């Protein structure tokens, strides 16, 4: 991680005790919480370790977001991993080890956040001010909210499929592991969203850090804006998006050089160096052709190519290259993550362009023009892409198409479709019937190994 030492928070590394029982965690013999949280500097190391764990390709550096892209209509999966192909073909099994790895890695990072949230306020260090403690706790609560938000999108139905929010989502674990294995049941989506909102409201008011490779108050506002958009709380989405747009040091970039670079475009961006992501299936490996050090697994889908080709001249379509894919075919690949050999590409977690499009969509759907008109906000990304500005937005589809082209390969497409009750595939694509928003295999299974260890975890329908 650029500018952050790759310090694993050992509770200082809580580790999975064995492959036979993934729910059982055991502390290593090295450092105890008493030592980790004995000085402000060591507490800062714990924060660094939390961010380092999120660089795993099973958390923020590749696999969950690329799975969503090929489960929907942006990516054609052509690789050899059967656990990935299950998701692409809607034949996912409950013992899918790739999904188990995502579950474990995310809850590992959540546990790191919980350790900070629990222990930092208890530290009796005279020079460690309340404001500095709140800054660290706020960052940990942002991370916890971000990961629960992403998990809730994979493992349960969304509000458009169950507007009550009563459908089961993921277990909410708010206390750190301290030697006793608890067996929580799944919380409802409403409970998860309420929990996320509380964490983010705390984070936006307490984080003083301004470096964008860690959580900031603007990052908390940006994630709140996304949450409120997904909940169709449009006035609140507008306010939080506008908070980000108005924040110092954040402006929409004039070109696409911001990928894998520090830029005013970014609101929150993990910055990777060689080896940081820890697994072969990172963005860099999955999205790069074989000649460029990648696996060649995830080229453009024909459907996405057709979307770009329907309006000539879009500069975002030029963020691509021809290469040999995993099936030894000539395919088109994105260059948003071009470093397949070095494996150093940065996840694009929160960008200010998304805030403009959130404000555009929320204003359009609310019938308002607060802070700017929907069409002017939408045109900011269109004009940067060298497209003619629209004179008016005729339907929500204009915004969804713009979001698709702007954020393809960044992990937002699947939820853009589900939150609007749309199928993940078009009628001309394979598995269209299985991709309907209420279809069973649209939702990931609760990993069978977790259910074997915890009988309180109810399985999703169809598994």
Domain assignment present for residue 460? The answer is no
Taking only the tens place, the pLDDT of each residue in 356-393 is 999 999 999 999 999 999 999 999 999 999 999 999 99
Domain assignment present for residue 139? The answer is yes
- Give the torsion through C-alpha atoms of 160, 355, 53, 187, to 10 deg: -30
Specify the pLDDT at position 275: 60
Say how far apart CA 87 and CA 73 lie, in whole Å: 13
Specify the pLDDT at position 181: 84
Domain assignment present for residue 41? The answer is yes
The CATH number covering residue 196 comes to 1.25.40.390
Nearest residue to 444 via CA among 78, 79, 103, 53: 103
Domain assignment present for residue 109? The answer is yes
Domain assignment present for residue 320? The answer is no
Domain assignment present for residue 341? The answer is no
Specify the pLDDT at position 342: 81
Specify the pLDDT at position 13: 45
Domain assignment present for residue 330? The answer is no
Domain assignment present for residue 292? The answer is no
Taking only the tens place, the pLDDT of each residue in 431-459 is 999 999 999 999 999 999 999 999 999 99
- Profile the chain (463 residues) by mean pLDDT over runs of 10 residues: 42 38 43 90 96 94 96 97 98 98 97 97 97 98 98 98 97 91 95 98 98 97 98 98 98 97 96 66 92 95 98 98 97 95 89 98 98 98 98 98 98 98 97 98 98 97 97
Specify the pLDDT at position 269: 95
Reduced 3-state DSSP string for 256-292: CCCCCCCCCCEEECCCCCCCCCCCCCCHHHHHCCHHH
Specify the pLDDT at position 370: 98
- Could you list the residue range(s) of the whole structural domain that residue 360 is in? 14-73+90-273+348-423+435-453
Query: What total number of domains does the chain contain?
Result: 1
């Amino acid at each position: 991680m650029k500018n952050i030492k790759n310090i694993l928070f050992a509770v200082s590394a809580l580790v999975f005790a064995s492959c036979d029982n993934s729910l059982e965690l055991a502390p290593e013999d090295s450092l105890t919480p008493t030592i980790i949280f004995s000085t402000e500097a060591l507490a800062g190391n714990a924060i660094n370790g939390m961010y380092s764990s999120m660089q795993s390709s099973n958390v923020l550096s590749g696999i969950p977001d690329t799975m969503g892209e090929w489960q929907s209509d942006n990516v054609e999966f052509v690789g050899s991993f059967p656990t990935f192909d299950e998701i692409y073909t809607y034949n996912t099994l409950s013992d899918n080890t790739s999904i188990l790895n995502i579950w474990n890695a995310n809850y590992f990072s959540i546990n790191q956040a919980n350790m900070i949230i629990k222990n930092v306020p208890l530290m009796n260090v005279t020079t460690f001010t309340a404001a500095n403690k709140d800054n660290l706790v706020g960052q940990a609560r942002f991370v916890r909210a971000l990961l629960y938000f992403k998990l809730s999108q994979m493992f349960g139905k969304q509000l458009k499929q169950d507007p009550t929010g009563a459908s089961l989502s993921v277990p909410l674990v708010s206390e750190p592991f301290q030697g006793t294995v608890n067996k929580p049941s799944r919380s409802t989506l409403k409970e998860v969203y309420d929990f996320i909102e509380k964490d983010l409201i705390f984070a936006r008011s307490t984080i003083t850090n301004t470096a964008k490779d860690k959580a900031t108050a603007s990052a908390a506002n940006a994630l709140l804006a996304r949450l409120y958009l997904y909940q169709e709380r449009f006035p609140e989405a507008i306010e939080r998006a506008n908070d980000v747009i108005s924040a110092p040091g954040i402006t929409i970039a004039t070109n696409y050089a911001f990928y894998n670079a520090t830029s005013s475009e970014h609101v929150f961006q993990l910055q990777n160096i060689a080896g940081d992501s820890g697994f072969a299936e990172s963005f860099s490996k999955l999205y790069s052709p074989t000649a460029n050090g990648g696996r060649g697994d995830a080229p453009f889908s024909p459907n996405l190519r057709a979307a770009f080709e329907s309006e000539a001249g879009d500069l975002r379509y030029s963020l691509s290259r021809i290469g040999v894919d995993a099936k030894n075919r000539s395919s088109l690949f994105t260059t948003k993550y071009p470093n397949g050999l070095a494996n150093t590409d940065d996840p694009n977690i929160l960008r200010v362009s998304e805030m403009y499009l959130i404000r555009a969509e929320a204003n359009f759907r609310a019938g308002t023009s607060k802070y700017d008109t929907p069409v002017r906000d939408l045109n900011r990304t269109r004009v940067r892409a060298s497209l003619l500005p629209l004179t008016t937005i005729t339907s929500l589809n204009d915004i969804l198409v713009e979001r698709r082209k702007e954020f393809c390969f960044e992990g937002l497409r699947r939820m853009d479709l589900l939150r609007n009750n749309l199928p993940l595939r078009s009628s001309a694509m394979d598995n269209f019937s299985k991709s309907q928003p209420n279809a069973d295999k649209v939702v990931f299974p609760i990993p069978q190994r977790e259910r074997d260890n915890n009988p309180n975890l109810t399985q999703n329908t169809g598994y």
